[in-house]
Every structure is written in structure tokens, then in C-alpha cells.
Structure 1
Amino acid sequence: MPDAIHIIRAKRDGHELTGEQIDWVVKGFTDGVVANEQMSALAMAIVLQGMTRAETARWTAAMIATGRRLDFRDLPRPTVDKHSTGGVGDKITLPLAPLVAACGAAVPQLAGRGLGYTGGTLDKLESIRGWTASMSAERMHELLADPAVGAVWSAAGADLAPADRKLYALRDVTGTVESIPLIASSIMSKKIAEGTGALVLDVKVGTGAFMTDIADARELATSMVEIGRDAGVRTVALLTAMDTPLGRTAGNALEVAESLEVLAGGGPPDVVDLTLVLAREMLAAAGIDGVDPADRLADGSAMDRWRTMIAAQGGDPDAPLPRAAHTMTVTAASGGVVTRLDALAVGIAAWRLGAGRAQQGDPVQHGAGVEIHCRPGDPVQPGQPILTLHTDTPEVFDDATAALAGAWTIASDYEPTPLVLDRIL
């Protein structure tokens, strides 16, 4: 019979844990048999010693087994989901889900809320009057089966991988977040439990991402792809650049408005390009051939699907989006070409303006954020607006502008960098 002390010692000393040990400790922690102090010690041992592919796959499966696993195999269309590791201005999920649904796939999109400078999909959608993320598994199935809807954005239920929720809260306060096996299993346990048949991962790399080093990002992406495939989920990962914010907005309602521009056939080129790249990957993973998602943007069917999805979850697609009560414009001190706009600085500014939260449960301002007028590659004149800051609490402008000190560079030459850095199969 396994016990916590021997499991901690085994991992501390660099041994590979057995499947029986992993199953026992994950379930025991979830059930309260393994104390927080013991799981903290084990998590630290994992941070220091790592885990093998077999251990990581079994750890993920054990977390899934602590809760419910949704089953959409009886749907008339193949299921596919996308997960992003998060970045500044990353609103891709908003236009992507209706676009892929309009192309013939079912998209069970479990999403989260933002914390710190990284925005949350649910916070953005909740800026739409009446829209709600809460739904039962039965309602999710009903909407996915509906040929007029075919996609949902939903908060993960408490019964999906409850071990992960409990373990993440512990890791957050014990300095054990930075472990690629634990990060990978945390993400993948929820994605596998949601019941999707295929998954595309968007792993962000850069100053505005959790992973700032491409080698670490590649390792995380590879680990998640392996976990997905070991669990029978067709999985592919893209590494995408996050040194510059995506698009021209960072904030909740601001990003919804920009997503609507994309669905209407316009929008910033980088947002459009990444939306289409990910849509094509999702369709390929789902086994759907002969459909070009660019056509669904052009003919308005993706926008139609958006409106249906919003209404199906209680929202009013015609309601005006919230606007902040106060704005402040930040201008260029010199002329030239913008060669750098730091994603982290913009994200922190948006957070300080009220678009994000310092801890789970804090309210957000739906109209707050940063509007970007000049991106890398754009020419600029002295006194020309670079950014507009939006907030309902103007007393935070000083803190927000302080975060932007040195956030951009203006020079004479600009060398563009690719948006997609690598593809992991």
C-alpha cells in the first residue's frame, strides 16, 4: 500500500514514481487523505527532479479520474478545441470558435478568467450584456448538437479534474508553479476531461507570455502534445510570438470590438492571420477537408454564427459594449518607425487600468484597457498618439503610464519577425 512519505522520498531521490503511487497520491490529496504539507513537498520534489513522459501521462490521467469526463462522441460533427497559454491582447478564441463552427466542427471551448496582466476569455465575453458562461454539461451538449450553434464558451465545471484546481491553488503559494510536467498536466487534464476529440495548442513565447524562452516553450508544447496523444486526443501545438501585443487592443470590451471587426472581414492583420492559421489547424485535426475558413469570414457566416452563439448563452449581440468613462492619450516624443512595443508593459498597464485582477474573485472593469495606435513597423511623427488608455478610475493613470516607461522604441529601420515560430506534432 503506497504512503505519502515514501512517495515524497522516492521523487526527492530522483526515482520514477509507479502508476500505483501516482494514482494513490493524487486521489488521496483530492480526498484530504494526503495533507497539503505533504503534497507541497512532493510538488517541490517534482520541480527539482522532473517527471518522465510516463509519469506525466499517468499524473494527468489520475487528475482526470478525480472528476467527471464529458463525452461528445455521439455528436453529428467532430469535436475540436483550442487552448492558448495566454498573452496580451490574445482575443483569438472569440472569432475562432464561431469561425471553426461555421466550417463544420463542434467546438467545446472551455475558457477561463484573467489573472494579473493576462486577459481571460470569459471576462471579455461577460462585457456583452446578458451573456453567461454558466451552463450544465447537458446544455453544452445541446448547443454543440444544434446545427445553428455548434460551439460554446464555458467555464470549467467544478467536477472537471477537481484535483487540478486544488493542486494549482497549492502550487501558487508554495513556489512550485514553474514545473513543465505540472503545468502540462494541469492544462491537459481539463482539456482531456472536456471530451474533445482533437486539440490545437497555442503556446505563446515572449515578454508578454508565461514562457519567455523558446526552448522552455518548445518543451512545454512537446509535453502537452505527448499527453494528448497518450490520452487518445489528436493534438498539435504552435509556438507563437508574444513580444508584441496581438492586435490593437488589450482589455475586455475593447478586444470584443476588435474581434467583431475580424468577423466582419476586417481587423488587424496579425489577429486575422493567427485566427486563420489556428482555424486551419483545428479543421485538419478534426478531419474536415475542403473548407477554407477565410471564405467563412468573407461571406459573413462566421459573424452569423457569433450572433447565434452569443444569443444561445443569454447575450444580446446588438447591445452596445461598455466604454470607460475616462481616456488618456500617450504620444510619441520623436519621429521614425516603431520597432518595438513591449507586450508585458502594455499588459501591466491594462491591468492597472482595471482590465485585470490581482487575485481570483476581484471585479474587472469591462471598458478598461489599452488601445494601440502604432505597432511595430508603423511610421510615427512627434506628438502622434501611440496609445490611448481607458479606465473608469482616472486616479490610476499615473500607475498605468509608469508601467509604459520604455515600452516602445522608435528608430529608422524595422525588421519584421514571424508570428508562428514553430509547429510541434
Structure 2
Amino acid sequence: MSIVEIIEKKKYGKHLEDNEIKEIVMGYVEGIVPDYQVAAFLMAVWFRGMDDKELSTLTDIMIHSGKTIDLSKIHGIKVDKHSSGGVADTVTIPLVPIVASLGVPVAKMSGRGLGHTGGTIDKLESIPGFRVEVPTEEFINIVNRVGGAIISQSEELVPADKKIYALRDVTGTVDSIPLIASSIMSKKIASGTDAIVLDVKVGNGAFMEDLGDALKLAEAMVRIGNSLGRKTVAYITDMNEPLGDAIGNSIEVEEGINILKGKGSKRLFEVIETLGSEMLVLGGRASDRELGKSLIREAIASGKALQKLAEIIEAQGGNKQVINDFNLLPQAKFKKDIISEKTGYISRIDTKGIGRLAQFLGAGREKKDDVIDLSCGIIFPKKLGDYIEKGQQIGTVLSNNEAKLEEALNRFNSLIEVSDTPIEPPPLIYYRVSAEGVDKLF
């Protein structure tokens, strides 16, 4: 069948066979199929969608379009976590050492950020000496010795996704649930993990703003993972306000460390506890999620989780003294309080707007080769429903550019709305999605 016939078949909503999907995807990777034909195919998928068999096949083909990571030498059930991204989403930094300290190996491969703040890898580079580029064999040895490691994703993983995503970005097909699901799951599965816990964010600070769409995406990813032999569970969590209190890079590392000291944002900890307990169940460490949560609290209270972070930092060449001395992290030259211009209950937060403001300060990238300022950002501990008064300090801006700091201060109050009457904050965790079905949690 010709490429045009395959495109037309999908255009009319017909099921594509495995070899037809492979012909399009691998033909594009190998330079045989031109981008304009793949663009037409992507738009057909955007309109017509994909059934479960097509989606599983597409993901599997993408996985095997390049190298895959073999983690079979790591002892135990390896459990990974992935977030669809949001503002102040500092989960990975404390989560990995918590789970690792409880005996479940976490071989975490994370990405750099393109947007309001750096990704987990950028944040960890705030720690002096911390190596994120680690050869696979050493990575495996660290996980076996210490229990966990966090490194940057290999450029050789899933080349099909890189090519297709770049085309989606310029053809209006980024927001296709089948294409998003296959993109995320191909990278997770190619990274060699045994089980996956997904954190799908929803709200005005997330990629998915509609709860129904977020649920469809979570269900699609769970079906893909389980169909390809990976136990997969997803949670849908709220992103209508920053998850943690810090929006930046080094300041998010600081908050992540504070979580391991029993401090920090309660919302952030609740998501960590929820995802972590699921990881402990999938990893065979806990018989149920309630026991998992109890083990997590114990690991933090005993200092075991904090000590595990120190071990991971040291194993990856970083200065573990950072856990006791935050001055070792990059420090912004200027720091100024955000003063409220309003009195009332916070009724809405422009979460994405706060993220963009952090990016304006230098905390994120607009282009792939932009250099991040690891020290700048915004600290905003106030949450939806909180009462604030005019003239009250509600946060802090950190910057190495005084003019940008002043502009950020001037713009911040426009990103929050207040009400004269108390408001009910949205739920933090909406759904749990597994192979068994969907559980409503609010």
C-alpha cells in the first residue's frame, strides 16, 4: 500500500495494520517518507484518533526506532514516575530518594525543561558537581549500590518521537491525545523500567486544562503501558495553582530537600505521598497504598530518606553538604518581597502566568539552547482560598537583574484574583486510573 493510501485510510477513520504504521513512522525516520506526507498523516490522526491496537503498535514502533536501555542487571522491580508537567512541580527530587530508601530501585531518566522553568535535570545541576550525564553501566551500578539515580535521557532513545514531535509542533497537531500518549510512553518504556506511575496534571497551569481530556490521556497511557508489559497506573492531579511554594531551579531543590526534613508545601507532600505509595505497591514493598504512605512518613521522620538523597548526590559527583547548607546552591543577587495590592480570599491564580513570569526572570528556556539562570525565580506560598490583606507580604521574587525583578513585582498582582467571600479550593487529586478502571478520589 502506498503512503497516500495509508493516509487516506486513516482519513476515513479505518483501522491501520501494524506494517502500515511502521511504513509511515520508520520511513520518516529513515528519510524515505517526506515531512508533508507525515504531516497529513498526523492531521488525520488528530481528527480520527487511534484505536488501542493502533496506539500500542505506534508506541512499540517508536520505542524500537532507536536504542533501548536494558536495566535487567538492576536488582528488584524498577519503578519510574512521569509527570506531564506543571508549575512548581518539584516532586521527583524528594520522591526518588524516598522510594529508594524503602528498598524499591528507582532508575530515573529525566529531561531538561523548555518553558517556564528548567526540568528536573536542570534543577539538579544547581547542586555543585552533580553529574547528570552518566554512562548506562555506571548508572546501573549506582542504582544497585545506592538504590536510586537521576540522569538525563539519552539522545539515542526514541528518535522517531523527536522527529515526529518537531513536526507536530509546526503543524497544529501537538494536542492530539493518541500522539501525546505514544510520545510519553515510548520514552518511558524505552528507558527500561518495569512499572510506571504517571502524574497527569490538569488545570490552568497544565498542558491539559480540561478534566475530561486529562482523563482520556491518562486512560490511553495506562492502556499502552499495560499492553506492552509494563504495570502502569496514573493519577490526575490539580494544576490550577503552583503545586509547591518555589518556582525556579535552585529554590525548588531547596524545597525538595525541605520536604525530606518534614517541612515545605503540604500540597506538594500529598502528591509525593500518593505517587510514592503507588510506586511502593508496584515495586512489591507495600501490600497496599495506606501502608505505603505510612512507610513514606516513617522514612522522612527517621531521616532515612534525607540520607538517601545525600548518597545519591555523592554517587553522582555532587556536594552532599548542600542538604545542610543551602548557600552552596546558586544564590540570586537581588531579592524583594511581593506585596499584596488586594484584600480578600484568593479565588483564582493564573498559574501559567506565574510560570511565564519565572521564565521572564531567567528560570526557563524559550529555545532549546537558551542558558538558564539557576538562582532566580519566585517563592509564592499562598494557595487558593487563602485570605490576604492589602500591604501584606505574599511572596518573594529572586533575580540577578534588578530591572526584571521590578517588572516582575509590578506584574505579579495581576496574576491573582480575590473574592470578598471564602472559596472552596479545587481537589488536589481527581482520579486514579489503572488496568482495573477509574477511581474517583474527590
- TMscore range, shorter length: over 0.9
Match of 1:349 in 2: 357
What's 1:181 paired with?
Answer: 178
Count residues with an aligned counterpart. 422
* Equivalent residue number for residue 370 of structure 1: 378
1:302 is aligned to 305
Note the 1:60-75 alignment, pairs <5 A: 60-75=59-74
Counterpart position of 2:343: 335
Gaps of 5+ in 1: none
TM-score by length of 2: 0.92
Most deviating of 126-135 and 375-384: 375-384
The structure-2 alpha-carbon separation of the partners of 1:321 and 1:410, relative to structure 1 and needing over 3 Å to count, comes to farther
Q: Displacement of 1:12 after TM fit?
A: 1.9
| Counterpart check, 1:243 vs 2:240 | yes
SS in 1 for 2:178: helix
Pairwise CA distance, 1:118: 5.3
Equivalence map 1:37-52=2 (5 Å): 37-52=36-51
User: In structure 2, what is the Cα distance between the partners aligned to 1:99 and 1:193?
Assistant: 24
1:200-229 Cα shifts (integer Å, max 9, x gaps):
000000000000000000000000000000
Query: Does 1:414 pair with 2:423?
Result: yes
Instruction: For residues 255-276 of structure 1, give each alpha carbon's deviation from its aligned partner in whole angstroms, at most 9, with x where no partner exists.
Output: 1111110011211111111111
Identity of aligned residues (%): 40
Show the 5 A alignment for 1:193-342. Answer: 193-289=190-286, 292-319=295-322, 320-342=328-350
Q: Displacement, 1:244?
A: 0.7
Contact 1:341 1:409 (8 Å CA) reproduced: no
Q: Which position in structure 1 is the counterpart of 2:14?
A: 15
Distance 2:200 2:351 in 1: 15
Deviates more, 1:114-123 or 1:402-411: 402-411
Instruction: Quote the offset at 1:89 in angstroms.
Output: 0.1
Deviation of the 1:398 alpha carbon: 5.5
Tell me the SS of whatever aligns to 1:395: helix
Aligned to 1:111: 110
Query: Is the alpha carbon distance of 1:12 and 1:398 closer, same or farther for their aligned partners in structure 2, counting shifts above 3 Å?
Result: farther
1:140 aligns with 2:139: yes
Contact kept, 8 Å, 1:352 with 1:399, in 2: the verdict is no
Alpha-carbon distance in structure 2 between the residues aligned to 1:17 and 1:393: 54
Distance 2:77 2:379 in 1: 37
Output the CA distance in 2 between the equivalents of 1:50 and 1:403.
40
> What's the offset of the Cα at 1:160?
1.3
Q: For residues 70-108 of structure 1, what are the alpha-carbon distances to aligned partners after superposition, in whole Å with 9 as ceiling and x for unaligned?
A: 222342221000000000000001000010001111111
Deviation at 1:111, TM superposition (A): 0.9
CA distance in 1, matches of 2:376, 2:370: 14
Secondary structure class of the residue paired with 1:355: coil
Aligned pair in 2 of structure 1 residues 404, 355: CA closer, same or farther (>3 Å)? farther
C-alpha displacement of 1:141: 1.1
Cα distance in 1 between the residues matched to 2:50 and 2:277: 33
Runs (4 or more) in structure 1 with deviation over 4 Å come to none
SS at the partner of 1:405?
A: helix
Q: Distance in 1 between matches of 2:340 and 2:276?
A: 36
Moved more, 202-211 or 7-16: 7-16
Deviation at 1:13, TM superposition (A): 2.3
Output the aligned Cα RMSD.
1.6
- Residues 65 and 159 in structure 2, CA contact (< 8 A), matched pair in contact too: yes
1:198/1:235 contact within 8 Å kept: yes
> What is the alpha-carbon distance in structure 2 between the residues aligned to residue 393 and residue 210 of structure 1?
29
Q: Verify the 8 A CA contact 2:334 2:402 in the aligned structure 1.
A: yes
- Kept in 1: contact 2:73–2:140 (CA 8 A): no
1:159 and 2:156 correspond = yes
Conserved in 2, the CA contact under 8 Å of 1:348 and 1:403? Answer: no
